[in-house]
Structure 1
């Protein structure tokens, strides 16, 4: 394990700041936006499955994934599949951008500036967890608006202060009627969700490192697209299977149609009425969405970041 010596806290902070590179932010935003635009309808359906507790009459009932697609298009049109897409693009783009920015800065700081120093599972998880907390603080309000826009059904009749015309309108109305606390609904289970990102990044990084070490190559060498896609898919499946229940709790806390007295109340109510199955509602559309989304995100990020960060000498100028 790499040891870190920080005799001077102020110089340590400056050293950390020196490792922040905007290229990781741009590459992360590119990956998040690309995957979101392609796969948003599956995210919307996952949210609607997750909040369907079987007791709320206003929540639409779907027999399955294909039934959900058909029903939404029939009742809400094709545009219905893209409810909440704007905050989702903003949220996913900024979340991935900040995550990769913070993660790589923290990781490089721990490595002492040497990208070829292996960290091991523990330090990879630590860097990813810290990046996850920082990203969540900055993006949680966007996720609240995105969830509520996805849960606006054409047949519902709700008060004007709970019907949102878009992201900005949603942010303003939630702040006016519920204050800062309203914008940070689902933050506690979101904190548990940091473990999801930490587990995913640790698995992804360790697989890349072990693979390159097996081939006797530097751990930061660029891989092929197939290799990136494979490692991204495996890491996402492991992380999603292990941590999915927090997403159900988070979506229900952010749902404008139900009120819970906190995360623990939501957990106990879900268990009482739906047992363990309630915590895995929407898992199938979630996996169908998040696995390819992660593959697209990581592939885009790796290629964009490698392109932007490659030395000027490697860029061939036209003759």
Structure 2
């Protein structure tokens, strides 16, 4: 009797949800130092005026120059400052942004096999906005950790991830954990549409123009 083999059974929404978050966490482990360097370069402009007034030179120059400076002045561990919050962010953010994309797309198309560009774009915007609204506190804490220096000349404001959540909520209110939500939603809605919709189209084109679809339907009988 011909039936669906294990490879022919589509993954459930839960599998996609967890798989997307786990994959994003693995990627974050490798790219976190680059993200930390990016944050340091972004916030350097805030202190540029005061540094110029004191006659101090610019501390960070370029991505790899920033990484080298941080390792020399703060130690290698500084490159992974905020990693726990970063993994929390990826597990919650990517799970919603990527893992729920197909489910939301099917919701908008009401299960139809024909999916237009409008439905794909709408699904990308929706999951991108949902992910930011859900995971913004983890993003705020991650960036705060990446921004604070570990050198002895600077007092560390946050001792741990939990302490950062508590301190921000206590000093800035619960709304402080959702600072920057609006621009982040706008940014990630665009990114999500660009990434996932492009991936979706390329995947469909490959399946239609290659024998992958025909091969996947072949079931070997004993």
* Displacement after TM superposition at 1:122 (Å): 2.0
Query: Do the aligned partners of 1:85 and 1:146 also contact (CA within 8 Å) in 2?
Result: yes
Query: Do the aligned partners of 2:140 and 2:177 also contact (CA within 8 Å) in 1?
Result: yes
* Displacement after TM superposition at 1:211 (Å): 2.3
* Displacement after TM superposition at 1:206 (Å): 1.0
* Displacement after TM superposition at 1:121 (Å): 2.4
2:17 aligned partner: 25
Q: Which of 15, 31, 38 is the aligned partner of 1:39? A: 31
In structure 2, the CA distance between the partners of 1:55 and 1:200, relative to structure 1 (3 Å rule), is: farther
**Aligned partners of 1:132 and 1:170: how far apart in 2?**
25
In structure 2, the CA distance between the partners of 1:90 and 1:78, relative to structure 1 (3 Å rule), is: same
Unmatched 5+ stretches in structure 1:
1-18, 222-312, 315-319
* Displacement after TM superposition at 1:52 (Å): 2.1
Query: Do the aligned partners of 2:21 and 2:94 also contact (CA within 8 Å) in 1?
Result: yes
Alignment of 1:144-183 (within 5 A): 144-155=140-151, 157=154, 163-183=157-177
1:141 aligned partner: 137
**Aligned partners of 2:121 and 2:41: how far apart in 1?**
30
Instruction: Report how many aligned residue pairs link the two structures.
Output: 199
Deviations 1:88-131 (A, max 9, x none): 011012211122332121122234446xx242322111101111
2:122 maps to 1:126: yes
* Displacement after TM superposition at 1:179 (Å): 0.6
Query: Do the aligned partners of 1:86 and 1:166 also contact (CA within 8 Å) in 2?
Result: no
2:204 maps to 1:206: no
**Aligned partners of 1:129 and 1:80: how far apart in 2?**
34
2:53 maps to 1:55: no
In structure 2, the CA distance between the partners of 1:151 and 1:60, relative to structure 1 (3 Å rule), is: farther
TM-score, normalised via structure 2 length? 0.80
Unmatched 5+ stretches in structure 2:
1-10
Query: Do the aligned partners of 2:85 and 2:141 also contact (CA within 8 Å) in 1?
Result: yes
In structure 2, the CA distance between the partners of 1:131 and 1:189, relative to structure 1 (3 Å rule), is: same
Moved over 3 A (4+): 56-60, 110-114, 155-158, 216-219
Structure with the greater alpha carbon radius of gyration: 2
**Aligned partners of 2:133 and 2:64: how far apart in 1?**
35
Q: Secondary structure at the residue paired with 1:209?
A: helix
* Displacement after TM superposition at 1:20 (Å): 7.2
The Cα RMSD (Å) is: 2.7
2:7 aligned partner: none
